[in-house]
Structure 1
Amino acid sequence: MASKPVNLKVEPRGKKIAKLPSECSIYLQGSTNDLYQRIASQSNFSVHRLRIIKAEDGKPIPNDKSVSIDSTGLRDGAVIQVKDLGPQIAWRTVFIIEYAGPLLIHPLFYFLRPYIYKNASIQPSTLQTLSCLTITLHFLKRELETMFVHRFSNATMPAFNIFKNSAHYWLLSGFLIAYFTYSPTSITASASSPLLTYTGLALYVIGELGNLNTHLVLRSLRSEGGTERGVPKGIGFDWVTCPNYMFESLAWLGILMINKSWSTGIFVMAAVGQMALWARKKENRYRKELGPKYKKKRFAMVPGVW
């Protein structure tokens, strides 16, 4: 026999939600996702704009199908607060917009060189051509992975953050690298060193293929629309916690060896530094959420270094 539902008192937190109900009835065996869906439906509001918090201790209640109401400590008569997070945008859309910047900017600078720079020859150098190809293919791969491979634990993010997130790609990996790489005075316009170029191409290919394989492994651990985490295994995972960041760094090192531009170097340092922070956070999250299932590795991103 099913247990009787508990009645929760509902209050707004911060900005007013016009149709927010004053009470909500739900079974203790139900999931917190059920609670979110019920509040959103009764409020005529997007579930992704809501954050539900226990008034008693201020702890947020996750929107998770695997977390029961009972496990949160909510009981009959408990008070929950509902916060409006503001307009949201899907993470998939965010990534598509971010990567579209450099994906479009590099071919434009490459093909419009004679119109952008003074004394630019019609024919770009070999290194400039390779730079355009490798960077464009890198971001095309990212777009395709976003559309067909990645599964996101969070459905949305605040819409305003799209400007901050896009600046990293549109400005640093887009305009900064492109403007100085395709210039006739750039080091990339000079003759290439075969050993450096071929080594860079090899690192680029290994990095891109390794990164793709890592994303496919991570995809296999999560069901469509799910938030569960599994213990990843395979190429790279025996060395570091986040081989996707390791291979990504390897690919960009290859690009840097090909075009030798200081502007690319600045982006690589910024990107690798950011990925190093993400890798450490993910290492800590794996240990916290997976417990004994996850064997702590000595390094989060770069074997022997970090």
Structure 2
Amino acid sequence: MVSITVSAAAKAPSFARDLPISVEVEEGSTIGELKQKINRKFPKFSTSRQKITLKGDRKPLDDATKIETVFGGKLEGAELQVKDMGPQISWKTVFLIEYVGPLIVHPIFYYFPKVFYGRDFQHSALQKYVFAFVMLHFLKRELETLFVHRFSHGTMPFLNVFKNSFHYHVLSGLLLAAHVYSPKYAAGAPAIVGTYRDNATFLKVATAVWAFAEVSNFHTHLTLRNLRPAGTKKRAIPAGYGFNLVSFPNYFFEILGWVVISVMTNSIASHFFVVVATVTMAAWALKKHKNYKKEFGKEYPRSRKAIFPFIL
């Protein structure tokens, strides 16, 4: 057994005011096991709230990392810091909360137009198609969260759920629903009659492209799931459908599906959502693409782009 010092990286939380403390660890102990010892010392300091770092460093140490490797095998006199990350919530719960917003908001606007627009009216074929697309998309996302996705991180700060939900509840929920299901796009409205929005062939082609994007997105999620065995954080280079061109075809197909809705409606609300979603996912893709190349080095395909084939 070796004793190492654990101090507070910032102000010690009220339930761990005895920091710094000495913790005895066995040879081969991991950061995760150290967290468990800290939790036993301070029961309210759950392992999910703890961020363990080297003294003076901000980069968190992975739970699977052996403590002795952090210090080159010399544990005597070693010191690590712990920071309280605040109340946590599981990623799965966050996703479920995010995606349920549009599933509630869109039916309210669609089925109760008199409440929002002062009168009832007949929905156009366009509105019916968009409503079906949105509901099926977010139902798919909920089911994927429950039965497909495997998360590399168990939790995230609780307050992030509000920030993350804004994108879905407000932009693809409230903003999109209020505009697309308005009388402007109702059956018989000038924006519909005699335009491509009322063309049966156009709507069928749009449906085919949208369905292609959704099925392709689902396929890439299955590929990513199969890369990570249950209960592990294993990472591997994805390959196959979509991945041969870009690192994150799931984002590309997601964007394609929303672009279809944007083209169908030519709604400023849908255009705005597509722009925000594209910029957001492109930023995620570029960051993760860089991490892939750094992690796998020469093994990672050099010609592969981040999100848009042959472009970005």
Query: Same fold judged by TM-score > 0.5?
Result: yes
Query: Residues of 2 paired with 1:59 and 1:172: CA distance?
Result: 33
Give the CA RMSD over aligned residues.
Answer: 1.9
Is the counterpart of residue 254 in structure 1 residue 260 in structure 2? Answer: yes
Query: Residues of 1 paired with 2:172 and 2:60: CA distance?
Result: 37
Moved over 6 A (4+): none
Are the aligned partners of 2:113 and 2:119 in contact in 1 as well (CA < 8 Å)? Answer: no
Are the aligned partners of 1:50 and 1:85 in contact in 2 as well (CA < 8 Å)? Answer: yes
Tell me what 2:81 maps to.
81
Query: Residues of 1 paired with 2:284 and 2:186: CA distance?
Result: 32
Tell me what 1:137 maps to.
136
Q: TM-score, normalised by structure 2?
A: 0.90
User: What residue identity is the alignment partner of 1:297?
Assistant: S
Tell me what 2:49 maps to.
49
Query: Residues of 1 paired with 2:68 and 2:59: CA distance?
Result: 15
Question: 66, 69, 89: which one pairs with 2:67?
Answer: 69
Q: Deviations over 1:27-51 (max 9, x none)?
A: 3423222222222232212101011
Displacement of 1:163 after TM fit?
A: 1.2
Query: Residues of 1 paired with 2:249 and 2:59: CA distance?
Result: 31
- Distance of aligned partners of 1:295 and 1:68 in 2 relative to their CA distance in 1, 3 Å threshold: farther
Displacement of 1:187 after TM fit?
A: 7.6
Tell me what 1:271 maps to.
277
User: What residue identity is the alignment partner of 1:278?
Assistant: W
Q: TM-score, normalised by structure 1?
A: 0.91
User: What residue identity is the alignment partner of 1:259?
Assistant: T
Tell me what 1:117 maps to.
117
Is the counterpart of residue 238 in structure 1 residue 234 in structure 2? Answer: no
Q: Deviations over 1:96-152 (max 9, x none)?
A: 11111111111111111133213441x211110111110011011111111111111
Is the counterpart of residue 13 in structure 1 residue 12 in structure 2? Answer: no
Q: Deviations over 1:171-217 (max 9, x none)?
A: 10001100010101238862413343223211211111111111111
Moved more, 229-238 or 5-14: 5-14
Query: Residues of 1 paired with 2:110 and 2:233: CA distance?
Result: 41
Tell me what 2:290 maps to.
284
Tell me what 1:37 maps to.
36
Which ranges of structure 1 fall in alignment gaps of 5 or more residues? none
Is the counterpart of residue 26 in structure 1 residue 22 in structure 2? Answer: no
Count of aligned pairs: 299
* Partner SS state of residue 184, structure 2: coil
Tell me what 1:148 maps to.
147
- What is the percentage of aligned positions where both structures have the same residue? 40
Are the aligned partners of 1:200 and 1:256 in contact in 2 as well (CA < 8 Å)? Answer: no
Moved more, 126-135 or 160-169: 160-169
Query: Residues of 1 paired with 2:263 and 2:123: CA distance?
Result: 18
Query: Residues of 2 paired with 1:11 and 1:77: CA distance?
Result: 13
Query: Residues of 1 paired with 2:303 and 2:3: CA distance?
Result: 45
